[in-house]
Amino acid sequence: MDTTLRLITKALTWQVAGLITMTAIGFVFTGSIAAGGGIALSGAIAGFVSYFLHEVAWSKIAWGRVLGYPN
C-alpha cells in the first residue's frame, strides 16, 4: 500500500508530466512556448474543474452503490 506522501508525489509528477507534454503540443501548433504553456495551464484547470463537478454530480446518484456488506 502506498503512503499518502507517495500518492501526492505521484499525482504531482503526473500533473507536471502532463503540463510539459501539453506545452510541447501547444508549441508545435502555435510556435510559442508562452501560448503552449497557456493552453496547457488552461487545459489542466478545465480538467480539474470538470473532474470535480463530475464527482459532485456522481456523489448525488445512488445507483450502483453498496451500502453495506451482507452478513
Query: In the chain, what are the domain boundaries?
Result: 8-59
Q: Say what the pLDDT of residue 68 is.
A: 74
Tens of pLDDT, residues 10-42: 999 999 999 999 999 999 999 999 999 999 999
Q: Say what the pLDDT of residue 53 is.
A: 94
Question: What pTM, to 2 d.p., does this model score?
Answer: 0.73
The DSSP H or E segment spanning 8 is helix 4-30
Longest dimension (CA), the chain: 62
Q: Enter the C-alpha cell of residue 28.
A: 508545435
